[in-house]
Chain A
């Protein structure tokens, strides 16, 4: 997470079939090929049988095309794009629990929330939960600013990203339906 600024980050997005074990295949591939994963997020798309995996890979020594080719070898991976090669937007979300047991702390947090795309989403007797959604660099800057106040707990989603403009990453494919009417896609989220 705290890799030096000089290292080269690649953002790769993969559309995968929503079948059991697919995430395991993706993660196993990275470990096997000695690719260093900074963050990895996965979630459903608007199509129930397709999930989207976004990976940030620390790759000063790695060729992102090489990684994409390896990913594409997985049978359940439908499409791979190196998002960071083109214009794109990216977002990282963090929830930060901070100490707000005195007025000064609370004021500092409130003030930071004005200056950053952040807001207080839960106010307890002595602590508050702050949410920030922004580019990774901005999220990290914000966290640095909160440190003097007193961070108690932190959780981050990892980066999600999307190419800008009309370029889309999608697939036309429809899921396999067996002879008994069952489909290969499982009901629940199952990567």
Chain B
């Protein structure tokens, strides 16, 4: 059957299981938009800025484990996707971005709206394609989806010249998917017997072991295996920021988040441990602190799907390049049955110390704290919502005060730290999980970077709740200025719009909260409406996220919140 390149592209997307794509039309992608009318089963969500489309595709992928799709025109449309691609790249999220390109004959002539998009996106994609004939499209699309979701997932971009979209080529449904020929792309599987033996021996000898669980647990679907290993061998688990949800945080062996703003008990335990078992995480500087003094007494096992991550930042004793679920499945029958009572008691002591410092246990001030907002949001949503945070203090407060029980319910830009990610990603997450409660937890700074998507939320009536923690400051930058720049608050105070009036302009219901006793009612109000709702929480600017490992410090050298009665240092 002869179809146009645009029709072939859409046919292939449908066959890859795509149900929704987020995008913005323009000249060079118009043939594809025109063909969309023939494929009503493929829903298109019109965004207000292409960056929003890339974050929506990202949020969709993180919440569902499927590939998210965004689409944009050439030149400025494509360059606006770049931040979203870089975000997905750093957090290993499988998305496919489709961009229009000027006609083949015009490539390289600085034609109107021409940009070398495969060149621009090379460092921020797992792979990218410039499609030079309609006949290639089925191969490219199938490869793109396979590469995006397999191995260590990542973004893949397909750049399609306008005349390739209109060119006719033979397309036969029964030949789809075509056979993949990717000689240079192999997905690691399991561990060798030697590697497993070596790992088991280290676990057998360990007296103070700890598991560091990352995003990879969820991406390989190893949640159950992680829990079993932890329980069988009595090993406590600490989570990276993106690892939240890998193990229920109510589980007695789950200690919560490690790292720069992680729980002090986790950081102390890592520095004191005699065995680190790192699973699907990459020893980012935000979780290691000073590498020279990192986990100095421990042997280290690292199971990781990306071979180039093993021995990159931290030298390990046993490095296993493989799929976590497969490797843990191999390891479990061999795992020694153990418990580590003394070690757990030590960890409980550290936790007890933190609990004495916990601000929610002793704060009685007038002003509202971000910690109170997140804690109460957690309580009012039964700890069961999908929360999508932006970047900054509110993000760390979310990580600390909203314990998650299920995988893929805590979405945030961890690696790139992209302000503006939260709100559009929440819209994407809601499309992926229409039956779940989705909250965008954002700060006043980041929200203003992508708030144009309020119109998208209204147009599509996306049932996403927006919690703005408004302290009229770039709070995390302010915190660094307070600690490290002698309280010179250069360019961090913000004169903000009236967020509730802004919501009103978009016909979105809203409520402002200034006291703790109003939180419950506001959350109930938001939940009572099927559609977007904005709640502004006016919080104190002086709040500090504790503990904090200053960049480059030893991991257990944290700035702690003083205990009541102690002097502020």
Q: Which residues of A contact B (CB under 8 A)?
A: 16-17, 20-21, 24-25, 28, 32, 63, 65-66, 69-70, 72-79, 171, 173-176, 178-180, 182, 184
Contacts and interface: CB of A to CB of B under 8 A. Distances in A.
Given A73-B307, A184-B136, 20 more contacts: A17-B183, A21-B118, A28-B122, A63-B311, A66-B308, A66-B312, A69-B308, A72-B307, A72-B308, A73-B306, A73-B308, A78-B184, A173-B181, A176-B181, A178-B139, A179-B172, A179-B178, A180-B135, A182-B135, A182-B136
27 contacts: A28-B123, A65-B311, A66-B311, A69-B308, A72-B184, A72-B307, A72-B308, A73-B307, A74-B184, A75-B126, A75-B127, A75-B185, A76-B184, A79-B184, A173-B183, A176-B139, A178-B133, A178-B135, A179-B138, A179-B170, A179-B175, A179-B178, A180-B133, A180-B169, A182-B133, A182-B135, A184-B181
B311 A78 contact: no
Nearest to A78: B184
A73 B135 CA distance: 27
A65 B311 CA distance: 10
B175 A75 contact: no
A42 to B, nearest CB: 16
B130 interface: yes
Task: Tell me which of A74, A171, A173, A179 has the highest count of chain B C-beta atoms within 10 A of its own C-beta.
Answer: A179
Instruction: Please report whether the interface of chain A is mostly helix, strand, loop or mixed according to DSSP.
Output: loop
Nearest to B184: A78
B119 interface: yes
Contacts of A179: 135, 138, 169-170, 172, 175, 178
B170 to A, nearest CB: 6
A66 B310 CA distance: 8
Contact of B130 (A16, A20, A28, A180): A20
A32 B136 contact: no
B474 interface: no
B495 interface: no
B57 interface: no
B136, B138, B310, most chain A CB atoms within 10 A: B136
Nearest to A172: B183
A25 B122 contact: yes
A23 B184 CA distance: 15
B136 A75 contact: no
A15 B157 CA distance: 24
B184 A17 contact: yes
B147 interface: yes
Given A66-B312, A72-B307, A73-B308, A180 B184 contact: no
A110 B557 CA distance: 69
A149 B366 CA distance: 86
Nearest to B169: A180
Contacts of A16: 184
